[in-house]
Amino acid sequence: MAAQLVSMHDIHKAFGPVKVLEGVDFELVAGEIHALMGENGAGKSTLMKILTGIYAPDSGTIQVDGKPVSITTPADAEKYGIAIIHQELNLIPALSIADNLFLGREIQRFGLLDRKAMTKKAMEWLAQVGMEKLDPDTRVERLSVGTQQMVEIARALGQNARVLIMDEPTAALTEHETTTLFKLIRALREKGTGIVYVSHRMEEIFALCDRISILRDGKFVGTRPVPGLAFDEVVKMMVGRTLEARFPVRSSTPGKVRLQVEHISGGMVKDVSFDLRSGEVLGVAGLLGAGRTELARLLFGLDKPSEGRVLLDGDVVTATNPNQAIHAGFGFLTEDRKAQGLVLDLSLRENISLPRVPAHVGLVDRGGEKTQTRGLIDALKIRTRDMELNVSALSGGNQQKVVLAKWLALKPRVLILDEPTRGVDVGGKAEIYHIINQLAEQGVAILMISSELPEVLAMSDRILVMHEGHATALLDAHGATQETVMTAATGGH
């Protein structure tokens, strides 16, 4: 048995009347990759925020190296070698790598910044994460998300972190970056670092982790070693029941052509053509930066196409802003629901009716709005006590359903979904897939951009694969495999 690094015991935490954690245990040993799983709202983030000193627990004990400690500030956590790599990266874009690495702990000589020493040290730290080729003077905004993450890890290691908490680290990474990251995580494990890996991605967890701890509704369900563990068992522990199917089956077949995209170009997108039928789900696969979101932005009037045209039910559509696109019959669920999808300070009701507030000559029809909201909350099984609750109080899966509800209220003819299940837990994913199927069965034409290949393969009728702005393949989903999609996505034929 390896040395115990961290042990949290009987942790309780409540925010006002809401109990977020009720007697949770968590244990991390040196040299292990320990997955922390649970549906959104199960308490994973709160537990990790307690371990990193952002929240104080109401009761419970924390031990580091077998000794009881009190972690009440992030500085305490740092002192005990505990570091977290957030989902939203915490680097300052306009500063250089070296500036970021030493932010708040700059090396000084006679009260002045000692740039030479910091650059030298920065290179050592970057080498620790296999990034010795990076120039520490590069500004962070010029780095890819994956590289930025490496810089964050380098910073944590530079501060002698022995416990590294990673929150959905691969959410924004390309396949290649993910591989690099996993290599690094495994190397860190060999050196005795304890890694807490918070993720919803089952495949990754089974490939990478040694043990899994599971939370459900703020309670500790159990810890299991990964070898010999069945996928279904984990899901069952997380949701408290067995899911019928990970990807529900759709019963309908696509109808007539609804959307025709002809040789459209603009920005990154180069000469892309495809048809989309009513009741069809067209998956759009590709690596990060392949131009998938940019394609959606062109269709939705956010960017201007330089060439090509779009026909909706036979009529040419020229939308130069989202308002026109919406009136033409488009809906667009964006990939970043907090920054682009929701107004967090507004209620469910107000968010859902944002694209079209039920109104008579500009005066809000409160009754109609409530009826519409209630109908959508029921139809999408959004779990909330109250439609007046701020959406910021909802879990990720429920927030995503609110964004979906917002578009469904408009009864769109074409619905563009950009990463519809990002940051959504297993149970929530299945529900969103179910909604997508229902929409398709009602005849909505769906363009589904996704970086999760199993999702694209299972949910689509056909798959459009993009690479560097071009459409490199249009595959029938039934014959396609991860390999054929990846080949096209990397530009191979």
Partner 1 sequence: MTLQLNWSQAKTLFQRLGSVIGLLLLFIVLSVLSPDFLTTGNLLTVLRQVSINALIAFGMTFVILSGGIDLSVGAILAFTGAITAGLMAAGHGMVLSVGAGLALGAVLGMVNGALVSWGRVAPFIATLGTVTLLRGLTLSYTQGSPIPVTNPGFAMLGGGYIANLIPLPVIWMAVAFILCGFLLRGTVFGRHVVAIGGNEEAARLSGVRISPMKLAIYGLSGLLSAFAGVVLTSRLYSAQATAGAGYELDAIAAVVLGGTSLAGGRGWLFGTLIGALLIGFLNNGLNLLGVSSFYQQVVKGIVILIAVLLDRRQ
Query: Does 406 help bind partner 1 (rule: CB under 8 A)?
Result: yes
Angle between the 396-408 and 426-441 helix axes, to the nearest 10 degrees? Answer: 10
What does the block give as tokens for 381? 């099984």
Bridging pattern class, strands 194-198 and 33-37: parallel
Query: Does 339 help bind partner 1 (rule: CB under 8 A)?
Result: yes
Which of 9, 236, 356, 383 is close enough to bind partner 1 by CB under 8 A? 356
Which of 56, 94, 207, 364 is close enough to bind partner 1 by CB under 8 A? 364
DSSP per-residue string spanning 34-90: EEEE--TTSSHHHHHHHHTTSS--SEEEEEETTEEE---SHHHHHHTTEEEE-SS--
Nearer to partner 1, 180 or 353 (CB): 353
Give Cα 33 distance to the centre of its chain.
20
Which of 72, 260, 390, 484 is close enough to bind partner 1 by CB under 8 A? 390
Q: Strands, DSSP E only, in 244-369?
A: 257-266, 269-277, 281-286, 307-312, 315-317, 330-333, 359-360, 363-364
- Other Cβ atoms less than 10 A from the Cβ of 117: the count is 15
Nearer to partner 1, 188 or 312 (CB): 312
Query: Does 171 help bind partner 1 (rule: CB under 8 A)?
Result: no
Q: Measured from the CB of residue 343, what is the shortest distance to partner 1 in angstroms?
A: 4
Helix (H, G, I), strand (E, B) or coil at 194: strand
Nearer to partner 1, 15 or 231 (CB): 15
Query: Does 342 help bind partner 1 (rule: CB under 8 A)?
Result: yes
Query: Does 363 help bind partner 1 (rule: CB under 8 A)?
Result: yes
* Candidate ranges 114-122, 273-281, 341-349, 477-485; the one touching partner 1 (CB under 8 A): 341-349
Which of 104, 227, 228, 362 is close enough to bind partner 1 by CB under 8 A? 362
- Other Cβ atoms less than 10 A from the Cβ of 122: the count is 26
Which of 354, 458, 477, 486 is close enough to bind partner 1 by CB under 8 A? 354
Which of 341, 396, 412, 423 is close enough to bind partner 1 by CB under 8 A? 341
Pair 243, 235: CB distance under 8 Å: yes
Pair 77, 83: CB distance under 8 Å: yes
Q: Where are the alpha helices (DSSP H) in 102-174?
A: 115-128, 145-158
Query: Does 56 help bind partner 1 (rule: CB under 8 A)?
Result: no
Q: Which residues contact 111 (CB under 8 A, 6 or more apart)?
A: none
Nearer to partner 1, 249 or 363 (CB): 363
Query: Does 18 help bind partner 1 (rule: CB under 8 A)?
Result: yes
Q: Strands, DSSP E only, in 218-306?
A: 219-225, 257-266, 269-277, 281-286
Which residue's structure tokens are 């060439």?
A: 307
* Candidate ranges 90-98, 222-230, 332-340, 431-439; the one touching partner 1 (CB under 8 A): 332-340
Count the site residues for partner 1 by CB under 8 A: 39
Q: Measured from the CB of residue 385, what is the shortest distance to partner 1 in angstroms?
A: 7
Which of 113, 344, 477, 486 is close enough to bind partner 1 by CB under 8 A? 344
Nearer to partner 1, 154 or 296 (CB): 296
What does the block give as tokens for 148? 């930025």
Nearer to partner 1, 388 or 476 (CB): 388
Pair 380, 404: CB distance under 8 Å: yes
Query: Does 386 help bind partner 1 (rule: CB under 8 A)?
Result: yes
- Other Cβ atoms less than 10 A from the Cβ of 103: the count is 13
Nearer to partner 1, 379 or 393 (CB): 393
Nearer to partner 1, 307 or 386 (CB): 386
Per CB under 8 A, residues contacting partner 1 are: 15-18, 300, 302, 321-323, 325-327, 332, 334, 339-346, 350, 353-357, 359, 362-364, 385-386, 388-390, 393, 406
